[in-house]
Amino acid sequence: MSLDILKKQLKESRLQNIYLFTGAEEYLKKYYANAISRLIIQEENKEFNYIYFEGKTEVEAIISNCETLPMFSDKKLVVAKNTGLFKGKKGETADSGTDKKSGKDKLAGYLENIPDYTCLIFIESEIDKRIKLVNTIKKCGLIVEMDYQKPADLVKWVVKVFGSYNKSIDQMTASYIVENSEYSMTELLNEIDKLVNYVGNKNEISLKEAEMVCNKTIKSRIFDLTDAISEGNNSRALSLLNDMAALKEPMQKVLFMIIRQIRMVYRIKQLRKQGVREDAAAKQLGLTPFVASKVMNVSRNLDISVLEKAMYYSLELDESIKTGKMSDRIAIELLIASMGQK
């Protein structure tokens, strides 16, 4: 919701004096900091009116730069990234008084009377919402959480970015790229750049080209593995497992993702049994086109009884792992073998 507020403020050119950007999506934090900069600072005066700090920063430095008058401009922008000021200490809360007379407390007091000509943006990966400084910004400014976006939204964004290069891409291919990105927009941009350079003057991006050029994540390899299981090709499934082991993929993570995939296929089977159409079932589960096609393909090849048995068996295997009776790798091999039994 706070991101929507920021978008509205930018559209109406009515900014607040203090912002705190937090969350895992670095691309969005950088994008909106730049958007604010473009709105309030002219490029020819940027060297006088744009101040940037990164890493551990003294409170006095932030305050003094906020106080300095802008030059040849009505506004100035101060950006402070990963300062360490928003990490709480044990027992530190807004009301605890543990940060009294500290730099954080001084900064919190200052922010309540920051000059109108200054826009201050804090950019942090994580914040402790209990501390006084965060509560002050919540009262006097705007806290914007910028986490990884939903896969469906990322697919639309990927199509839009390719369009800015005068390249077209269908939903299936865009979702393939998204599902191999860990949902990071920065990573997605790198993959887009690689594909644009690879196809050259060609206007349309194909799925085959994306498969050739883009990095393949563990998620994509799990899809291949479950495909092999559903086709009764256990030797290929074990070969893919060996490949993941060679790539040092954590076997615990591999097992978790296989089980999650089995559950997803089971849910699709249930919905289809209830008469829900494939596209409606995929939408209900929030699946992108690429994931939906993979899950549907597996669901057509596996009986619901096989999936139920696999889910129950996975619970037994989990217990055996926790009690030290077997390794994650052995558990995966046994699960693959059990699903291949007729």
Give the tens place of pLDDT for each residue, 133-145. 999 999 999 999 9
Is 90 exceeded by the pLDDT of residue 206? yes
For residue 299, the model assigns a pLDDT of 92
**Which two tokens mark 87?**
């990490």
Per-residue exposure over 230-252, b if at least 16 CB sit within 10 Å of its own CB, e if not: beeebeebbebbeebeeeebebe
Q: How much of the chain exceeds pLDDT 70, in percent?
A: 95
Is 70 exceeded by the pLDDT of residue 1? no
Instruction: Please answer whether residues 179 and 288 qualify as being in contact, where contact means their C-beta atoms are separated by less than 8 angstroms.
Output: yes
For residue 94, the model assigns a pLDDT of 53
For residue 217, the model assigns a pLDDT of 86
For residue 104, the model assigns a pLDDT of 87
| 3-state secondary structure (DSSP) of residue 51 | strand
**Correct CATH for 2-145 of 3.40.50.1110, 3.30.470.20, 3.40.50.720, 3.40.50.300:** 3.40.50.300
Which DSSP symbol is given to 138? Answer: H
Instruction: Please answer whether residues 272 and 302 qualify as being in contact, where contact means their C-beta atoms are separated by less than 8 angstroms.
Output: no
**Which two tokens mark 150?**
């939903």
Euclidean distance between CA atoms 33 and 332, whole angstroms: 45
Instruction: Please answer whether residues 182 and 217 qualify as being in contact, where contact means their C-beta atoms are separated by less than 8 angstroms.
Output: yes
Is 60 exceeded by the pLDDT of residue 93? no
Euclidean distance between CA atoms 183 and 177, whole angstroms: 9
For residue 220, the model assigns a pLDDT of 86
What would the pLDDT profile of 164-203 be if each residue is shown by its tens digit? 999 999 999 999 999 988 889 999 999 999 999 999 999 9
For residue 98, the model assigns a pLDDT of 47
Instruction: Please answer whether residues 255 and 328 qualify as being in contact, where contact means their C-beta atoms are separated by less than 8 angstroms.
Output: yes
77 Cβ contact partners less than 8 Å away, ≥ 6 residues apart: 36, 37, 40, 41, 49, 50, 51, 118, 119, 120, 121
Read off the pLDDT band of 87 (50, 70, 90).
confident
Euclidean distance between CA atoms 293 and 282, whole angstroms: 9
Q: Tell me the average pLDDT across 44-61.
A: 92
Domain with CATH 1.10.8.60 in the chain: 151-213
Instruction: Please answer whether residues 227 and 297 qualify as being in contact, where contact means their C-beta atoms are separated by less than 8 angstroms.
Output: yes
Euclidean distance between CA atoms 133 and 111, whole angstroms: 9
Architecture category of domain 218-340 in CATH: Up-down Bundle (1.20)
Residue with tokens 């709480």: 88
Question: What long-range pairs does 197-200 form, CB within 8 A, spacing at least 24?
Answer: 199/167
Residue in 197, 154, 192 with CA at minimum distance from that of residue 25: 154
What would the pLDDT profile of 223-262 be if each residue is shown by its tens digit? 999 999 999 899 999 999 999 999 899 999 999 999 999 9
Is 90 exceeded by the pLDDT of residue 90? no
Architecture category of domain 151-213 in CATH: Orthogonal Bundle (1.10)
- Residue 299 phi, psi dihedral angles, 5° rounding: -65, -30
Domain with CATH 1.20.272.10 in the chain: 218-340
Euclidean distance between CA atoms 287 and 297, whole angstroms: 14
Domain with CATH 3.40.50.300 in the chain: 2-145
Is 60 exceeded by the pLDDT of residue 99? no
Q: What is the pTM of this model?
A: 0.81
Burial status of residue 8 (CB atoms within 10 A of its CB: 0-12, 13-18, 19 or more): exposed
Beginning with the edge strand found earlier in the chain, give each strand of the sheet holding 76-81 in spatial order. 50-54, 76-81, 118-124, 18-22, 142-145
User: Within a 13 Å sphere around the CA of 70, how many CA atoms are in the beta-carbon half?
Assistant: 19
Is 80 exceeded by the pLDDT of residue 92? no
Q: Tell me the average pLDDT across 109-129.
A: 93
Instruction: Please answer whether residues 214 and 199 qualify as being in contact, where contact means their C-beta atoms are separated by less than 8 angstroms.
Output: no
Instruction: Please answer whether residues 139 and 16 qualify as being in contact, where contact means their C-beta atoms are separated by less than 8 angstroms.
Output: no
Read off the pLDDT band of 91 (50, 70, 90).
low
